[in-house]
Amino acid sequence: MSKEKWYPIFFKIASTWAKTILFVMGFKIKLEGQKKIDSKKSYLFCPNHTSMIDIMLMFAITKNPFVFVGKKELTKIPVFGYVFKKTNIIVDRTDSKSGRKAFADADRRLKNGTSICIFPEGKVPSDENIILDVFKSGAFRLAIEHKIPIVPITFYDSKKRFSYTFFSGSPGKLRVKIHDFITTDELTLDDRIELKQKTFDVIYKSLIK
């Protein structure tokens, strides 16, 4: 049995691990607007990205097995990095071939029924004043090609609770909103820019309220 067939079991373990770590760190998740996710369907999850705990938060709130498309730097984290490398899709942003391979891997996972999670900003914004950085197009091309729904997700408190700045943050509430799905059934690749902007607008308007 391949490691991909074992992935749903790993996902349940990862979900339990994430919930436990967040609880021990003093965080309480408050999930808002949760639309029913069909366990037999694939989705493309698109959350905003501001904190190291965003990965754990995704594992904690999502029941559907999914894999991340994540940057190579995450594989350098002790223990976590090894597991992340073995179970998710890694992108080396300094290697153009890596990007093509990553999206070929994502294409295969989607065909096998596994959902994908991509932080569409591609990285955590370097400027502290940026509420939501510009989205990259790759996620939206994948969604259109596979005719799967986009699931915009807003993390409101990750940056406040546990930012990339050392010795910052505090225990408390982690509010998360799963927005209405954006369907791609009738879209073509010519619509990917409009789809990207529509997804951006949903998350951005939620953050500035």
Q: What is the pLDDT of residue 20?
A: 93
186 inside domain: yes
pTM of the model: 0.86
106 inside domain: yes
Contact (CB, 8 A) for 89 and 69: yes
40 inside domain: yes
Q: What is the pLDDT of residue 3?
A: 59
1 inside domain: no
29 - beta bridge partners? 174
152 - beta bridge partners? 46
Q: What is the pLDDT of residue 34?
A: 66
2 inside domain: no
**26: left (phi > 0), else alpha (psi -120 to 50), else beta?**
left
Question: CATH number of the domain that 146 lies in?
Answer: 3.40.1130.10
User: Which 3 state secondary structure label does DSSP give 198?
Assistant: helix
188 inside domain: yes
Strand stretches in 66-185, DSSP E: 66-71, 89-91, 115-117, 150-155, 172-178
Q: What is the pLDDT of residue 95?
A: 66
> What is the total residue count of the chain?
209
Q: How many domains does the chain have?
A: 1
Q: What is d(CA 122, CA 69) in angstroms, rounded to the nearest whole number?
A: 10
Residue 73 DSSP symbol: G
Structural domain range at position 113: 7-208
User: Which 3 state secondary structure label does DSSP give 181?
Assistant: coil
82 inside domain: yes
pLDDT per residue rounded down to tens, the chain (209 residues): 355 677 778 888 888 988 999 999 999 999 987 677 777 788 999 999 988 889 889 999 988 888 888 666 666 666 556 666 666 777 766 666 766 777 777 778 887 788 999 999 977 776 677 889 999 988 899 899 889 999 999 999 998 888 766 556 788 999 999 999 999 999 999 999 999 999 999 999 999 98
Q: What is the pLDDT of residue 47?
A: 95
